[in-house]
Amino acid sequence: METLDDKLKITTVDNREALAKKALGIFIGDAKQAIEAKGRFYVAISGGQTPRYFFELISSTPNSLALPWQKIEFFWVDERCVPMDSPASNYRLAAETFLKKVPIPADNIHRIQAELSDCKTAAHSYEEEVRRAFDIQKGQVPQFDLIVLGMGPDGHTGSLFRNSYAPFDKEDLACVVYSMSGDYNRITMTHPVLRAATHLVILVSGPEKAAILQEVLRAERDEVRYPIHTIWPILDKVTWLVDSEAARLL
């Protein structure tokens, strides 16, 4: 009988720089494979400090810059409900680190309009944007070629947080996550979208992630306590990239 350890695909690297280089290699490889197979590469990214160097490498590495960017479609897994120029914006992070430096057409950048005053309207608008880009109808789920995720110190991924409805939303492609703690409201892709992807990469770095990573990987599946467990049914499609500090308790 196959165990959890048999399903887990964990690559441990020395530091954040090595992690970013591994992530870039996966990004380039998946892009080439998807473009060769169907002429398009659909990728969704998250925010946070862990992927920053990965983003910077996208815009400064010859093999990445040589990709046919007109065939790459960029989306976001989640976004804070802030203006697009806010320091807290996931879009701003991507724009400043690589999107403004690579030859990608503006129409291929599918950001979440999180600056709208009504978060529900923004979530609905984003869902419609995804459906248009994938040419799918209501009830269908898009299949991203690659989704790049992180993991928070409480075991969340994207903006699928504990004590919210979001990890259990099966009807929508994107939903609102309202903050109960004075933090930002957010918009996030739902778990059916994550599960439908061809490949997911989870970037985990830093000593502050060591305890939660050990906990998440060893605990019984519990999507309430650990929202990242929503991807447990598709672990065969998940690559974990973990630096040595985050991996020290494994």
The pLDDT of residue 3: 56
In residues, how long is the chain?
A: 250
| pTM across the whole model | 0.95
CA 172 – CA 123 distance, rounded (Å): 9
- CB within 8 Å of 106: residues ≥ 6 apart: none
Cβ partners under 8 Å of residue 99, min gap 6? 74, 109
CB 222 within 8 A of CB 229: yes
Instruction: Say whether domain 4-243 belongs to CATH 3.40.50.1360.
Output: yes
Among 214, 84, 237, 64, CA closest to 147: 237
- Give 177-200 pLDDT, tens digit per residue: 987 776 899 999 999 999 999 999
Please state, in angstroms and rounded to a whole number, the distance separating the CA atoms of residues 136 and 248. Answer: 43
Q: How do the domains of the chain map onto residue ranges? A: 4-243
Confidence (pLDDT) at 178? 87
pLDDT, tens digit, 9 for 90 and up, residues 28-83: 999 999 999 999 999 999 988 889 999 999 999 999 999 999 999 999 999 999 99
Distance CA 99, CA 93 (A): 9
Give residue 136's pLDDT band: very low, low, confident or very high (50, 70, 90): very high
CA dist., res. 91 & res. 96, Å (int): 9
Environment class of 78 (CB within 10 Å of its CB; exposed 0-12, middle 13-18, buried 19+): buried
How does pLDDT run across 149-173, given as a tens digit for each residue? 999 888 889 988 887 777 778 889 9
Between these two residues, 131 and 6, which has the higher pLDDT value?
131
